[in-house]
Structure 1
Amino acid sequence: MFAARKLFTANAQLLKNVAQHRNMSVIATPARNKISKGEMFVLISAMVIGWSIVPTWVLVNIKNYRNKE
């Protein structure tokens, strides 16, 4: 009985020391510095190109994938 109790208290203490406790607060406010329309265009273009690279590659090479059987 005492061994089991000691094991539980040791594990509880270990969890207190190892577990991460996060105290965060988020304040949502408008941006302080707005970005220009040119910057916005470049960022949006980079995201769209990045998202469509892999599907485009697959569609261009789909004949090669099908012939590998």
Structure 2
Amino acid sequence: MFAARSLFKANAQILKNVAQTRNMSVIATPARNKVSTGEMVFLISAMVVGWSIVPAWVLCNIKNYRTKE
């Protein structure tokens, strides 16, 4: 029983010295610089193309996937 207590105290001290403590606060505010319409269109289209590439590739090559054994 005493060994368990001393082991727990030793671990607590190690964690206190080794583990990082983080004190953070986040304040949500509006963006400082607005994103232009052209940038927004470019970013949205890049995301849509990025999400669609793999499914489109699979659909175009589905015959190859089915014939492989």
Shorter-chain TM-score category?
0.7 to 0.9
Aligned to 1:63: 63
How many residues in Structure 1 have an aligned counterpart in Structure 2? 69
Aligned to 1:5: 5
Aligned to 1:16: 16
The offset of 1:30, in angstroms, is 1.2
| TM-score normalised according to structure 2 size | 0.81
The offset of 1:18, in angstroms, is 3.4
| TM-score normalised according to structure 1 size | 0.81
Identity among equivalent positions (%) equals: 83
| Deviating 4+ runs (over 3 angstroms) | none
Give the Cα–Cα distance (whole angstroms) in 2 for the partners of residues 29 and 21 of structure 1: 25
Secondary structure of 1:25 counterpart? coil
Secondary structure of 2:21 counterpart? coil
The offset of 1:11, in angstroms, is 1.1
Give the Cα–Cα distance (whole angstroms) in 2 for the partners of residues 46 and 11 of structure 1: 50
- The Cα offsets for residues 26-54 of structure 1, whole Å up to 9 and x where unpaired, read as 21111111121111111111111111111
5+ residue gaps, structure 2: none
Secondary structure of 2:49 counterpart? helix
The offset of 1:59, in angstroms, is 1.0
Aligned to 2:29: 29
